Structure 1
């Protein structure tokens, strides 16, 4: 009985941190952790502070403007690239992440620039 109560408590805590739980045929519990990058939240937050972008966002939601869309992360995109606010610290964050990340490689001088230009 005690183990059952503890198991339920752990399951409730796991659900609170975006873990999907499912029961397997053999009676074991399978936990699937879903990771969501926080950078999208920061980009969206910076976009929502700009009055000019709020109008573009509204127009994109109503499909009354070309080249602007709202993506699955609720971020505004221009020609399928994330729209980064000019005056935000997000630019510095993106550059630091691209340059200092363990996954950033520099096989040629403009690779990082090309990668960033493709995404943002």
Structure 2
């Protein structure tokens, strides 16, 4: 009888791996994780992988590269095609949470050159009344 070999594979999204790694850099997220584990914050939960969820939204650590990655994906992907700030924020707030998220979204959209060109085409010319 031949021995049976069993292999187990676990697929995990790259973003979750980056969030786990970045969690070590953010003291606020670490404190929130500890408080959620002890039961002090009801809206915060921690998954088995030690990932923080705030009201069932993924808690993103305060690491600018990670936030920029999420914002770029939400704004420049083929499926979203440069949404404006309000729509982009509404789409992101269903899945992610971080401090000053709305501010970061509006700042990102305001710096997008494609969005600025579209806005310039739609603006009416200003006539000076003398």
Higher relative contact order (CA 8 A, sep 6+): 2
In the alignment, the residues of structure 2 paired with residue 65 and residue 105 of structure 1 have an alpha-carbon distance, to the nearest angstrom, of: 37
Counterpart selection for 1:117 from 93, 98, 103: 93
In the alignment, the residues of structure 2 paired with residue 61 and residue 77 of structure 1 have an alpha-carbon distance, to the nearest angstrom, of: 12
Q: Could you say which residue in structure 1 is the equivalent of 2:67? A: 91
In the TM superposition, residue 53 of structure 1 has moved relative to its aligned partner by 2.3
In the alignment, the residues of structure 2 paired with residue 111 and residue 86 of structure 1 have an alpha-carbon distance, to the nearest angstrom, of: 22
Tell me if structure 1 keeps the 8 A contact 2:37–2:46.
Answer: yes
| Unaligned stretches of 5+ residues in structure 1 | 1-7, 19-33
In the alignment, the residues of structure 1 paired with residue 49 and residue 74 of structure 2 have an alpha-carbon distance, to the nearest angstrom, of: 20
RMSD between aligned alpha carbons? 2.8
Q: Could you say which residue in structure 2 is the equivalent of 1:44? A: 20
Q: TM-score, normalised by structure 1?
A: 0.59
Aligned length: 93
| Unaligned stretches of 5+ residues in structure 2 | 97-130
Query: For 2:78, what is the secondary structure of its paired residue?
Result: coil
Tell me if structure 1 keeps the 8 A contact 2:26–2:62.
Answer: no
Deviating above 3 A after TM superposition, structure 1's stretches of 4 or more consecutive aligned residues are: none
Select the structure that is richer in helix. Answer: 2
Is 1:54 aligned to residue 61 of structure 2?
no
Is 1:70 aligned to residue 70 of structure 2?
no
